[in-house]
Amino acid sequence: MSKFGLLVMGPAGAGKTTFSNSLIQHLQNTRRSCFYVNLDPAAEQFSYQPDLDIRELITLEDVMEELGLGPNGGLIYCFEFLLQNLEFLSEALDPLSEEYLIIFDMPGQIELYTHIPLLPSLTQFLSRQGPLNINLCAAYLLESTFVIDKAKFFAGTLSAMSAMLMLEIPHVNILSKMDQVRDMVTRRELRRFANVDVQLLQNDEDDPEARANPMAPDALMSGGSFKQLNRAVAQLIDDFSMVSFLQLDVQDEDSVSAILSHIDDAIQYHEAQEPREPKDEQEVNYED
């Protein structure tokens, strides 16, 4: 039988730990079991004490001090060390039953999600292709405040897409910290960002505000070669047409619950919890 797990990923400060905590709170409120794994070797404080913590194996601080590495090199060393000591994960996770949702709270270094092949190796080990046989889903968080600066938003969208393509596991993208943008952007506009309407990236050519303030980020985006780059990025995202975002407000339990429903669907959690039908007696007789 397989287990269930969620990799909470995304750039630094996107709200991964806060989301993990609100998810744990919601799971507890709805009497579901969860197992919280911190995989950030530089994490400092937690509202919920992790059930398993990479810092018991290795910490970024020790690596930086003892090997003289910087924070990014140090993080890569920590993940390589984890991959050489996978029994640290399997000893804790193997005994868990399929009722548990295992939440992996990941670090925010963006290179982990773009070009370094450490996460694919880790997911391979955790997922159904590996010995732990976990039905895994990735949740990629992007700060909703990025919608204020379209170039930033689309750069973030590309990083989400890169993680999706690299990990090859079910994936939900989430715009986090929605409380921070509700008063700044209309619902209609937010919907366009959530559905990744690539026209948003191309419309600035006719934007009078951009023309009035040529140094504003949106105006810079409409300059010659940048315009061409934007068109190419828009085309790329459009070609894949598989990026959209759910909207998360951690203060609102309904919002957390709606996101969990998407995750449950992706990992087919409820199907596994349904009691299995006893074999039809007639069918057994017929087979006999």
Residues near Mg ion (CB under 5 A): 16-17
Out of ligand GTP, Mg ion, none, what residue 176 binds, judged by CB under 5 to 8 A for its kind, is ligand GTP
Looking at the Cβ atoms of 145 and 268, the one nearer to ligand GTP is 145
Taking CB within 5 to 8 Å according to partner kind, which of Mg ion, ligand GTP, none is near residue 179?
ligand GTP
Residue 215: contacted member of Mg ion, ligand GTP, none (CB under 5 to 8 Å, by partner type): none
Give the one entry of ligand GTP, Mg ion, none that residue 12 binds, where binding means its C-beta sits below a cut-off of 5 to 8 angstroms depending on kind.
ligand GTP
Cβ(205)–Cβ(227) below 8 Å: yes
In the complex, the smallest distance separating the C-beta of residue 34 from ligand GTP, rounded to whole angstroms, is 17
Kindly state the smallest distance separating residue 150's Cβ from ligand GTP, in Å.
Answer: 21
- Residue with smaller CB distance to ligand GTP, 96 or 174: 174
Residue nearest to ligand GTP (CB): 108
Task: Please write down the HEC assignment for all residues of the chain.
Answer: CCEEEEEEECCCCCCHHHHHHHHHHHHHHCCCCEEEEECCCCCCCCCCCCCEEHHHCCCHHHHHHHHCCCHHHHHHHHHHHHHHCCHHHHHHHCCCCCCCEEEEECCCCCHHHHCCCHHHHHHHHHECCCCCCEEEEEEEEEEHHHHHCHHHHHHHHHHHHHHHHHHCCCEEEEEECHHHCCCCCCHHHHHHHHCCCCHHHHHHHHCHHHHHCCCCHHHHCCCHHHHHHHHHHHHHHHHHCCCCEEECCCCCHHHHHHHHHHHHHHHCHHHHHCCCCCCCHHHHHHHC
Q: Which does 22 bind (CB under 5 to 8 A by kind): Mg ion, ligand GTP, none?
A: none
- Cβ nearer to ligand GTP, comparing 10 with 170: 10
Which residue ranges make up the site for ligand GTP (CB under 6 A)?
Answer: 10, 12-18, 40, 108, 176-177, 179-180, 250
Q: Distance between CA 71 and CA 68 in Å, rounded? A: 10
State the minimum distance, in angstroms, from the CB of residue 113 to ligand GTP.
Answer: 11
CB of 251 to ligand GTP, least distance (A): 7
74 binds, among ligand GTP, Mg ion, none (CB under 5 to 8 A by kind): none
- In angstroms, give the least distance from the CB of 10 to ligand GTP: 6
The nearer residue to ligand GTP, 143 or 264, going by C-beta atoms, is 143
